[in-house]
Amino acid sequence: MSTPALHSRLPAVGTTVFTRMSQLAAAHGAINLGQGFPDFDPDPRLVELVTDAMRAGHNQYPPMAGVPALRAAIGAKLGRLYGRAYDVDGEITVTAGASQAIQSAILCSVHPGDEVIIIEPAYDCYAPAVALAGGVTVPVTMRLGADGYSVPWDRVAAAVTPRTRMIVVNSPHNPTGAILRAADLDALAAIVAETEILVLSDEVYEHMVFDGAEHASVARHPVLAERAFLVSSFGKTFHVTGWKLGYVAAPAALMAEFRKVHQYNVFCVNAPMQHALAAYMADPAPYLGLPAFYQRKRDLFRAGLGGTRFELLPADGTYFQCVRYGAISGLPEAAFAQWLTVEAGVAAIPVSAFHSAPTESGIVRFCFAKTDTTLEAALERLRRL
């Protein structure tokens, strides 16, 4: 007897670099600045609200689209911050994290042979979702200049063909820390206007934009909002990545198709946590204060790196800092990240892992969503290099 052979739907996919680097960090006692998660607890009040919700009996299936009070809180936030009035009944769905939202948005939109433009370096869940839908990923590489990474909209426009179904954008951007601005939204709108191209906007770091800049959400732009799936994450915003809760907002016609996939993908998501988040969001201070909270950590980390041989790239958003390491080593990025973890005791992620084809730029990504104690300990090790 033997196990039948299985023809893989994702033959090129293995264990993610984030898992591998976290495992390597744990095995060698390294400080993990690789995988993007906080090492500090959320607001105790939010945890208490979950307990309250459980005790109040919110322990059975919630509505498929999400608890109404939470969808109302999301709608109020989007309207207040970005000026777009999403209908909370037909245009907002609570998801099992942003990754499920992204996959469901792609699966409901992309058919075999459709092309999806993905701007690289890119978070690693986009392309597999396109592959599962039978689509074709069309990568466009970001420009890297003195001012950091930027989207080459001329190259994006040149990549559009009659088969283009969707363009995926991500701002604030993982892994580079770059952000889109109003002119970028205009450039994207000029490309998709008068077409049937959809936009998937990954905005999970929407509240981590620094130096007084404004988050350029697709919800702000009428042309884009009418054709976009906007995705965000409670895990990123409220320091609870393990809760795996997010949401998607989209026009009613798009959302109707999204929910067809969503209801058979997960159907619904954690009920007591939804009720807790709805109550917690009555006070906007926690997410409105997030830019200052993470900017202070960014500045602390950048100041500490100033005493090392790493070369800092701009970090305008997210909780990631990219650095060049050419003054320290000539190793390829994956090998350097492994060496850094094992020999220096600090884990990072090679930016090459965010590309669909082998690409070397001599850059790794650190996560600074850590306690000051963790960051100072990591910086002490990095200064020895």
Q: How far apart are CA 265 and CA 259, in angstroms?
A: 9
Specify whether the backbone of 134 is left (phi greater than 0), alpha (psi in -120 to 50) or beta. Answer: left
> What DSSP state is assigned to residue 5?
P
Distance CA 222, CA 250 (A): 12
pLDDT in tens, 172-200: 999 999 999 999 999 999 999 999 999 99
Q: What tokens appear for 82 in the block?
A: 């970005």
pLDDT band at 17; cut points 50, 70, 90:
confident
Residue whose entry in the numeric block shows the structure tokens 């080593």: 329
- The answer, yes or no, to whether residue 78 has pLDDT greater than 80, is yes
pLDDT tier, 96 (very low <50, low <70, confident <90, very high otherwise): very high
Say whether 290 sits in a helix, a strand or coil. helix
> What pLDDT sits at residue 68?
98
Q: How many Å apart are CA 217 and CA 203, to the nearest integer?
A: 7
- Of 176, 144, 171, 288, which is closest to residue 232 (Cα–Cα)? 171
Domains of the chain: 17-36+288-382 (3.90.1150.10), 45-282 (3.40.640.10)
Q: Which pLDDT band, with edges at 50, 70 and 90, does 383 fall under?
A: very high
Alpha-carbon distance of 106 to 221, in angstroms, equals 21
| pLDDT single digits (tens) 284-306 | 999 999 999 999 999 999 999 99
What's the predicted TM-score (pTM) here? 0.96
Q: Is the pLDDT of residue 330 over 90?
A: yes
pLDDT in tens, 116-143: 999 999 999 999 999 999 999 999 999 9
* DSSP symbols for 303-325: HHHTTSSPEEPP--BTTEEEEE-
Partners of 200 in the β-ladder: 168, 229
- For 135, phi and psi rounded to 5 degrees? -85, 180
Per-residue pLDDT tens digits for 337-382? 999 999 999 999 999 999 999 899 999 999 999 999 999 999 999 9
